Amino acid sequence: MSKEIKPYNFQWKDLGDIELGRPNLGNTMSVTVYRLMQYTMRDVLNRKLSPETASELLREAGYVAGCEFCRNMLDTELPLSAFVAQLQDLLQSLKIGILRLEKSDAEILDFTLTVSEDLDCSGLPVTGVTVCEYDEGFIAGIFEGYTGKVFNVREVDCWSTGERTCRFRAVVETGLPS
């Protein structure tokens, strides 16, 4: 089902050989260090550009990551239920989060999913604003990589809005105004 994704310079091989480069420290690190990179990057983008542009850029970076993740880590030939199960297992084993498909309409490609213990925001202070734009792009890239169709993914609930899980709505783009 996979199709050719928009061209970006990033390729999976750009991640390098972690086993070779980190023979003692390995492939794990603190969530705090990951968030330090993400939230300082967000702060700089907000100040240098604008919060709206920062959100767009984070979403686009997540999209590129999701496309590459799908292409290199997932079997896009699986039926939807098996693909989602594989994705759930992988996200949990990589400690990205615990994915649950709440609602699924495969015929019209409309999904509601949650990610608990989300790498990006679980435990953040409540600000009333959703912050998982990178995740929105990541999910859109994965769904596009699987279906070959462009998805619009938006976070509707977030830890930082007072929820205890992140909830996303993923719908295929029709090209029609909503």
Distance CA 8, CA 85 (A): 28
Give the bridge partners for 105, in sequence order: 110
What's the pTM? 0.92
- For 90-109, the pLDDT digits (tens) are 999 999 999 999 999 999 99
d(CA 92, CA 94): 5
Give residue-wise pLDDT tens across range 9-46: 999 999 999 999 999 999 989 999 999 999 999 999 99
- What domains can be seen in the chain, in order of their start residue? 12-172 (3.30.1380.20)
Across the beta sheet with 151-157, what order do the strands follow?
98-105, 110-116, 166-172, 151-157
